[in-house]
Amino acid sequence: MYTAFYEAHRGFAMLGCLATVVWAALALIPTLQQKPAPRLWKPTYIAAMATTGLSGVTGLVIVWMGGWLTFVFPWLGLLAVALHGVAGVRGRKALAAGASGRLATALFIQIVTLIAVYGLMTVKPF
């Protein structure tokens, strides 16, 4: 069971990174060109938030099943999921308001957070 949750966690993490990059491209590129964002931004936003959240939930299951509570990387992952969520909501609101600067900042925070944590979780140097 642990292996299944571990692989699900890894898969959701990869899908979360991919969906976040697609959501960022669909939201930011038209906004910077002073065009409305395509309607496809909403399902990709939902996919990015859902897969990242599912990655966090499966990660918490792994933490409890594997006895990883004393390590630091599960807590970094939990912090990253929270930061991704907050930046995602701010990005969605900035897109609705047409604020391209705030949108770019929120998307940058989302992408950098996921890439940094994905790299840390892969290497686990601590």
Contacts of 87 (CB under 8 A, 6+ apart): 106, 107, 109, 110, 113
For the chain, 126 residues long, give each residue's pLDDT as a single digit of tens.
Answer: 999 999 999 999 999 999 999 999 999 999 888 888 888 999 999 999 999 999 999 999 999 888 787 888 888 888 999 999 999 999 999 998 888 899 999 999 999 998 899 888 888 776
Tokens representing 11? 């898969």
What pLDDT is attached to residue 36? 87
Handedness of CA 115, 9, 52, 35 (dihedral sign): positive
Q: Give the separation between CA 77 and CA 11, rounded to whole angstroms.
A: 15
What pLDDT is attached to residue 112? 93
